[in-house]
Amino acid sequence: MERLDKILVSQGVGSRSEVQKLIKKKNVAVDGEIVTKPDYKVEPENAEIKVAGQALSFKKHLYIMMNKPAGVVSATKDSRDKTVLDILPDKLRRKNLAPVGRLDKDTEGLMIISDDGEFAHRVLSPKKHIYKKYYAELNGKLTEKMIESFKNGITLKDGTRFLPAELTILSENSAYVEIREGKFHQVKKMFSSQGLSVTYLKRVKIGGLSLDSNLHIGECRELTDYEKQTIFIGI
């Protein structure tokens, strides 16, 4: 059982003060009865809640897939740049949303956003070994030798060690890379150790979840229950 005003805030209906005004002005009904007290207790999963005559589809948590654009940062707040939360459509905005992991500012592609902390922990936990797949374009020629270097794991001159990764060459200057870590600028640093610079980088897969090819840059949508499960396939 939760307070009615808290439920409405969690579903993105408005701020605490805004939903309290809605309730007091008789704009909210629970199971067909008008409720005027913000602290009225409701079991949201089993009650029919209507706001201004419109049924509220209660969701305990929200899971969003975004095709992140370059120039947008993976953060909840930033004083200089737009964040992934800033570009969410109004219908998907709600309290406590946060990016699950991060992508560099200039990297595009698959980003998951959620308000489910336990889910985020499962996705990011090093113990889960969830692979992330990237498409990369380089400023030079890729070689078979680099495949072996990635496969064996790369150690940088400063001692930073990257776990074994899979490099699949697509053309002389483009490839897929699969890593199971998320160290700062990892893909770029791995290629840099081979004398190459990344000119374009896009994340296309997390675990078994692929970026929806119908999502244009900057667009997003809710994940299905099946898609959430595919992230952890094989773990």
Amino acid 128: pLDDT: 83
Residues whose CB is less than 8 angstroms from the CB of residue 52 and which lie 6 or more positions away in sequence, other chains included: 22, 27
Amino acid 183: pLDDT: 85
The reported pTM is 0.86
CATH superfamily, region 2-55: RNA-binding S4 domain (3.10.290.10)
CATH of 63-126+217-223, one of 3.50.50.60, 2.60.300.12, 3.20.20.80, 3.30.70.580: 3.30.70.580
Q: Which residues of the chain have pLDDT under 70?
A: 235
Q: Where in the chain is the domain with CATH 3.30.70.580?
A: 63-126+217-223
Q: How far apart (Å, rounded) are the C-alpha atoms in residues 22 and 219?
A: 31
DSSP strands (E only) in the chain: 2-3, 28-30, 33-34, 41-42, 49-51, 54-55, 63-68, 98-99, 108-114, 132-138, 154-155, 161-162, 166-171, 174-179, 198-206, 209-210, 220-222
Q: How far apart (Å, rounded) are the C-alpha atoms in residues 126 and 65?
A: 21
Are the C-beta atoms of residues 211 and 109 closer than 8 Å to each other?
A: yes
Exposure string of 176-211, with b = 16+ CB inside 10 Å and e = fewer, is ebebbeeeeebbbbbbebbebebeebbbbbbbebeb
Q: How far apart (Å, rounded) are the C-alpha atoms in residues 175 and 204?
A: 12
Amino acid 176: pLDDT: 98
Q: Where in the chain is the domain with CATH 3.30.70.1560?
A: 131-206
Residues whose CB is less than 8 angstroms from the CB of residue 192 and which lie 6 or more positions away in sequence, other chains included: none
**Residue among 39, 81, 104, 212 flagged as catalytic:** 104
Amino acid 235: pLDDT: 64
Q: How far apart (Å, rounded) are the C-alpha atoms in residues 228 and 224?
A: 6
CATH topology of domain 131-206: Alpha-Beta Plaits (3.30.70)
Q: Which amino acid is at 23?
A: I
Q: State yes or no: is 104 an active-site residue.
A: yes
